[in-house]
Amino acid sequence: MWGLPTPGHLAVSLLAARSPGWAWVPSRCRAPREAVCNFVCDCRGCPDEAQCGYHGASPTLGAPFACDFEQDSCGWRDISTSGYSWLRDRAGAAPEGPGPRSDHTLGTDLGWYAAAGTHRGRQAATAALRSPTLHEAASSCELSLWYHVASGGAGPGPCAPHRVPRGGTGKGRGAAAETGGRPQDGTGRGPGAGPPGWGRSRGLRCLGRPTAGVAELRLELTHGAETLTLWQSSGPWVPGWQELVVPTGRIQGDFRVTFSATRNATRRGAVALDDVAFWSCGLPTPQAHCPLGHHHCQNKACVEPHQLCDGEDNCGDRSDEDTPTCNHHTATDFERGLGLWNHSEGWARNRSAGGPQHPAWPHRDHSRNSAQGSFLVAVAEPSAPAILSSPEFQASAPRNCSLTFYHYLRGSEAGCLQVFLQTRSPGGPQAAVLLRRRHGELGAAWVRDRVDIQSKHPFRILLAGQTGPGGVVGLDDLILSDHCKPVPEVAGPPPGLWAPGPRSQLSSLQPWNFCEPGHLFCGDLCVPPEQLCDFQQQCPGGEDEQECGKRRSWVGGALTSLPPDPPRSQRWAGPFTPAAIAGTTDFESPSAGGWEDASVGRLQWVRLPAQDSGSPGTDASGAAGHFLSVQRAWGQLAEQARVLTPTLGPSGPRCELHMAYYFQSHPQGFLELVVVEGSSRELVWQAAGSSSGGWKVDTVLLGARHRPFRLEFVGLLDLDGPGQQGAGVDSVTLKDCSPATVTEKEISCNFERSTCGWHTGHLTDAHWHRVESRGPGYDHTTGQGHFMLLDPTEPPAQGPGAHLLTWPQTPAAAQECLSFWYHLYGPQTGTLRLAMRREGERERHLWSRSGTHGNRWHEARATLHHPQDSSAKYQLLFEGLRDGYHGTMALDDVAVRPGPCWAPKRCSFEDSACGFSTGGRGLWTRQANATGQAAWGPPADHTTETAQGHYMVVDMSPQALPRGHVASLISEEHRPLAQAACLTFWYHLSLRNPGTLRVHVEEAERRQVLSISTHGGFAWRLGSVDLQAERAWRVVFEAVAAGVERSYVALDDLLLQDGPCPRPASCDFEAGLCGWNHLPWPGLGGYSWDWSSGATPSRYPQPPVDHTLGTEAGHFALFETGVLGPGGRAAWLRSQPLPATEASCLRFWYHMGFPEHFYKGELRVLLSSARGQLAVWGTGGRLRHQWLEGQVEVASTEEFQIVFEATLGGQPALGPIALDDVEYLAGQRCQLPTPSQGDTAVATSVPAAVGGTLLLLVLLALLGLAGRRWLQKKGGCPSWGETDAVAPSFDNILFNADHVTLPASVTNDQ
């Protein structure tokens, strides 16, 4: 079994020496070979399943066996025969490649997956990844996985699954804090679990062009001599993780699964695979006794009564299909003909092998689970049904004649299968009664269903299949119970309905009109399908919209005697009312407003009378009406119950869904609403816990949808669980959904009563929410009010971010000032952006901030520039992009006023030049070096420390700026300063002397406040200026050229803060971080130090008071180590570059809030230079909850930075590490501190003595000398200099791969 790789090896080959079917079983439990990898734990601790995707907890029957590739490959191995092969990899190993930027399990670049990397060969090649040998799969077995396809020619876009994965790792919600990954729902198949999606990918919304480079993906299952294709796709591919779920069917004996990727010969492409899970695959285990009513199989397993004689091997030895009862059933598997079902028109026998090359064609039959098996498919024209008729049966009352059948609907939302009952009374044949209707896309699976018939008259059963464009409708395994007794045959054709053939009778139910198929005929209009249910009336009577809320044939899972509704072209819709456009559905009409059940498992949605529901006993209005309820069903596949609307929309930005619901489930059920657009699924609402038996009301903002969509309620309950379990929906209303319904609303908003003119967008499954102040979340307006929050864990979201938009607005002036307050907090916070959209123009970025900005609210402003004399409307957009799951974003108190804004207090140049002008000469330019082709300037900016970041730069070469000439950069006006302030900025000078950088403040007159004239280097340096200004003022940067070739001056990250400027590398953290850089360091996990105070509510533990003030109002730097998880991750807090020093003293106060009996967190001081890092001080977490002083004497022969590193000394636990009152005394040696009152432990410097007595020092010295001589004889370690007089320098460092190994003698652990 693989362990985590060393830092120098970030990709691990999947090739293993063991055979693919081998799994280690300890000697104390010698499971037979057939019990290894059979999805059942036969040994304590489940070692027999360790190489089969076993995820670590003793699974019950039906629990997933999942492989997330975080620890090892779970037995999957590469069997490729070319250079294009699979390996275990993670995103951090190749950050610039075309592969995924994060894994699917954790949602970060630290997570692992299997990858078939880019292959540079010139021929097509296939990479194949094979599972270990598995044994026995139950008929309910499903294989789910997430795959990612990317191309070297088309970069990844902001694309992500639109819901939480079905199982992930099976971890509970609390697992996120331990692993650093995204939170999981406790159910395993958590909220957001969509339809099974068999044979096709689900759950994506992508913004970006399709990728190329991968020709085909294929999933195959090999058992015996046959290889079944479970799924195959040739694209088109889109960036992002996509889910695939396929049923395996019943597999007897050994089998293996292979996932293969075939690359194009001319394009680079990368494929990744993650979270492979087998669901409900284990056969039932032997039991001494079965529950009451269950069948005891010959192998002692127990199965439920409805599983007898259903055409599937549920016992595992087929004894449930070979009982005496089953011998009286009549089964037709179409292997040798039509059997009793010999009246057929429009159906044809076929098989997968040798069948048509149709993308929706079944890959196997149901009877044999083989490509060689036979089944029926509808071959009639899409406009006419295919009819299959049973023989005439004798009256069955008072007993049931039961028909179990398996059906296949794939490839078209218009496909339909209906089951009719035709009785023959003494007066002649009666009208056909609809028993069951299945409609739409059910995926590449054979789905079980059953109808029970009690008839006092002879009857026939008709199955009518109608294909939609590109769709396939199939039938297999029709099983009639023993009470379905055919009437003895008579010569001649059957009388009545069947004399002219049943097809003509059923076809006569469809009226003739002048419109094309699929169009609605109303008056003299033919309304095309795309204009039906689009919230805009086309027909004079509103028929095109009325069916969306009132009239659509409803067929639940239960037997109903309702005749089928006539098509829309013949229905009388009644007078048009606004309620019809609104789409109100109270479920009192049998049509149920067009909502249609699409379940395939043991649960379904049924229109139910309130008196039959048990609880709540009434409908939402309090009357004895009807509502939609989750009930039992006959399906054998995914457990969730699904019900969908017809296709709706597009919709306008104010579109809302109002509903009433009740939900009782303990402990693992859920009820949710999903928006389905094509193959993408967006979770927009879920029930917030049990409703205690009563009805609740809620409103969901659906917003603007530019493509047609469907609404889907998904419910999961354990109806056999303890207590009353139930879920229901009633009084569903769609309001203000017309795209023409647009009303301007006020942008200015404090969110106390509503969201005003703001609404959520639909970028991914993450959403902004208006929330009330509670716990660690507090608003800016009052501290107790409402604000807008983006939290990627509530509910858990995998998408990269969310949008918050305004309604279209008309400009009030040529320039407007938008002000707002933002809050970015957490060790893994992403980016918050502000942009403006105007019709016909590209989106314009106005402002952005990245990473944590401390646990406090900050004010920001942006000037909105509008074209002169233009009434074109515009939209504002806040986009929050997450960088993990340990960080939140919030907005409050948005305001807009006419006129420009004052100059911003902070500028990173990421989105604009922040209003800086160049004095008309245009010598300063805003640029990034993303292409690496910039003629001048630093290779990376200071804000992001990447080539994609922006900065301002001026070319100082003689051709651009002759010697002595000046290039000016002038800010907008700043508001007067009420108190002394500090202006800081980061500058970068070329290695060749560029000249002089001068800083002026222009108030009534221009005065110089700083001049920098030094040689450059490779690092950004911090400049600071103390300011006082009683009137409006500007800052002017002047670059005076020295006439040197290839020279430049660059500026980045300007910040104006109250109070005087601190000394270099010194900070009391009252106003901020004072130039200490908390940007996540590559390879350490992407976590940041933060900034907070004891008085500020926080979701993370923190000291109650600071050290500077000794009160809860004081501030400090903070890091929560509990988010790190194992694996050597750390967070760095880095000083500005400091000049070389022979001896300088660093003093600081630290606080470590860990339990005394645990050794968890660790704080170290590193010196970092171009030559590497050296640890000069360290302490562990065995400390009490108090502020302690630390000091260390540092020395370096070259420019360096001081780094505070927070890391783990053991397993993760909630516990903060805090810093305060950092003081760097340049050129001064440290003095031994005097312990202050209450401080019981003082960290001393590295040059100081470690022990407390002379005897201990002598003993340590003797031991050290002896150990040194022994090591010198061994030749294993270099010699380290004395540490009691001279601070260590960079000559003493040891390198190992990409990390530093430090002898214990250089650390001081209190």
pLDDT digits (tens, 9 = 90+) for 120-138: 666 788 999 999 999 999 9
pLDDT (0 to 100) of residue 555:
32
Handedness of CA 685, 689, 693, 699 (dihedral sign): negative
pLDDT (0 to 100) of residue 349:
92
Higher pLDDT, 184 or 1093: 1093
pLDDT band for position 86 (50/70/90)? very high
pLDDT band for position 473 (50/70/90)? very high
pLDDT band for position 1299 (50/70/90)? very low
What are the tokens at 1266? 């002896």
Higher pLDDT, 681 or 17: 681
| Angle, alpha carbons 427-430-434 (nearest 5°) | 165
Integer Cα distance of 149 and 146 in angstroms: 10
- For the stretch 719-745, pLDDT in tens is 877 777 889 999 999 888 887 766 667
pLDDT (0 to 100) of residue 765:
72
- For the stretch 1168-1187, pLDDT in tens is 988 888 999 988 765 567 89
Q: Above 70 in pLDDT, residue 1237?
A: no
Q: What average pLDDT does this structure show over 819-833?
A: 89
Q: Above 80 in pLDDT, residue 1162?
A: yes
User: Which of 119-133, 188-202, 353-367, 1284-1298 has the lowest average pLDDT?
Assistant: 1284-1298
Higher pLDDT, 89 or 541: 89
User: Which of 742-751, 893-902, 965-974 has the lowest average pLDDT?
Assistant: 742-751
CA 1295, chain centre distance (Å): 38
Q: What average pLDDT does this structure show over 116-123?
A: 70
pLDDT band for position 1083 (50/70/90)? low
b/e 245-276 (16+ beta carbons within 10 angstroms → b): bbbbbbbeebbbbbbbbbbbeebbbbbbbbbb
Residue 836, judged by CB atoms within 10 A of its CB (0-12, 13-18, 19+), counts as: buried
Q: Above 80 in pLDDT, residue 1107?
A: yes
Q: Above 70 in pLDDT, residue 573?
A: no
pLDDT (0 to 100) of residue 763:
64
Chain mean pLDDT for the chain: 77
- For the stretch 883-931, pLDDT in tens is 777 888 999 999 999 988 999 999 999 888 998 998 767 789 999 987 7
- DSSP-derived secondary structure letter, 176: H
Percentage of the chain modeled with pLDDT above 70: 76
- For the stretch 414-459, pLDDT in tens is 889 999 999 987 777 778 899 999 988 888 899 999 999 999 899 9
pLDDT (0 to 100) of residue 1112:
86
- For the stretch 836-857, pLDDT in tens is 998 778 889 999 988 888 888 9
Which residue's structure tokens are 């001056």?
1049
Q: What average pLDDT does this structure show over 1226-1234?
A: 82
Q: What backbone torsions phi and psi does residue 960 show, to the nearest 5 degrees? A: -90, -40
Q: What average pLDDT does this structure show over 1259-1264?
A: 51
Q: Above 50 in pLDDT, residue 257?
A: yes
Q: What average pLDDT does this structure show over 1119-1136?
A: 77
pLDDT band for position 762 (50/70/90)? confident
pLDDT (0 to 100) of residue 1183:
59
Q: What backbone torsions phi and psi does residue 284 show, to the nearest 5 degrees? A: -65, 145
pLDDT (0 to 100) of residue 379:
87
Handedness of CA 318, 323, 325, 326 (dihedral sign): positive
pTM reported for the whole predicted model: 0.69
Percentage of the chain modeled with pLDDT above 90: 33
pLDDT (0 to 100) of residue 47:
77
| Residue 1290: closest CA among 1205, 1198, 1226 | 1198
pLDDT (0 to 100) of residue 171:
33
pLDDT band for position 972 (50/70/90)? very high
Q: Above 50 in pLDDT, residue 250?
A: yes
Q: What average pLDDT does this structure show over 372-383?
A: 87
User: Which of 198-207, 299-308, 573-582 has the lowest average pLDDT?
Assistant: 573-582
Q: Report the SS3 class of residue 608.
A: strand
What are the tokens at 919? 């004095």
Integer Cα distance of 215 and 266 in angstroms: 11
Q: How many CA atoms lie within 13 A of 1009 on its CB side?
A: 21
- For the stretch 987-1040, pLDDT in tens is 999 988 889 999 999 998 899 999 998 777 788 999 999 999 989 999 999 999
Element containing residue 1255 per DSSP (H, E): helix 1254-1274
Which residue's structure tokens are 């016909």?
840
Taking CA atoms, 862 is separated from 418, 832, 1266, in Å, by 60, 14, 67
User: Which of 38-42, 1124-1128, 1205-1209 has the lowest average pLDDT?
Assistant: 1124-1128
Higher pLDDT, 633 or 183: 633
Integer Cα distance of 1066 and 1073 in angstroms: 9
Q: What average pLDDT does this structure show over 291-307?
A: 92
Q: Are 1037 and 997 in contact (CB under 8 A)?
A: yes
- For the stretch 1048-1081, pLDDT in tens is 999 999 999 888 999 999 999 988 888 898 877 7
Q: How many CB atoms lie within 10 A of CB 611?
A: 12
pLDDT (0 to 100) of residue 115:
92
Higher pLDDT, 819 or 1124: 819
